[in-house]
Amino acid sequence: MPSNIPDFAKLPVREQLQIHREQAACNDRHRSIDPWGIAMEGFGADGLARDTILRKEPGKRGKTFEQPVVTETTLPGGASVDGMEDLKAYLIEERKEQFGRALVTKLLTYALGRSLELTDEETIDELTADLVAHDFQLHRLVSEVVTSDAFLTKQAPN
């Protein structure tokens, strides 16, 4: 917590992030990731929707206060979104292939229990094309992954 900012801990998350981004060492990374997180502020760590954020009162043991959730933000590239529905629409409309590939890559990595390799690129391409063509049906993607050659021929861990 910056000691030169009075009541820093009481500031809303987006204001704390703005102050954090003013530090040269943090600006590049946070400028590109903070907006994504702000769009998701309507959900807590438990995954449940929320309208307020419960914060600890600085220096007062056990005392808390609430702040309203604000999910309006501008993403890198200039797109404005307000919450998860807008973010979802943006990803599906503007970043469909990139989002699909990232989802396939993460799921395939998990399913195979290893890092992906250059030899997995064809499988990733095929799974991504299928996912996009079938409107991101997750159950279909899982089925396609577990019936893929990469999954069926994976080696047991040592």
User: How far apart are alpha carbons 78 and 73 in whole angstroms?
Assistant: 9
Domain with 43 in it: 8-82
Number of domains in the chain: 2
pLDDT for 2 equals: 56
| 121 and 72 share one domain | no
User: Does residue 88 belong to any structural domain of this protein?
Assistant: no
| 78 and 33 share one domain | yes
Give this prediction's pTM.
0.69
User: Does residue 3 belong to any structural domain of this protein?
Assistant: no
What are 59-104's pLDDT values in tens digits?
778 788 888 999 999 999 999 999 999 999 999 899 999 999 999 9
Q: Which residue ranges of the chain lie beneath pLDDT 70?
A: 1-4, 156-158
Write the CB contacts of 16 (distance below 8 Å, at least 6 apart in sequence): 8
pLDDT for 131 equals: 97
Q: At what angle do helices 121-133 and 138-146 cross, to 10 degrees?
A: 150
| 55 and 119 share one domain | no
| 56 and 108 share one domain | no
| 53 and 111 share one domain | no
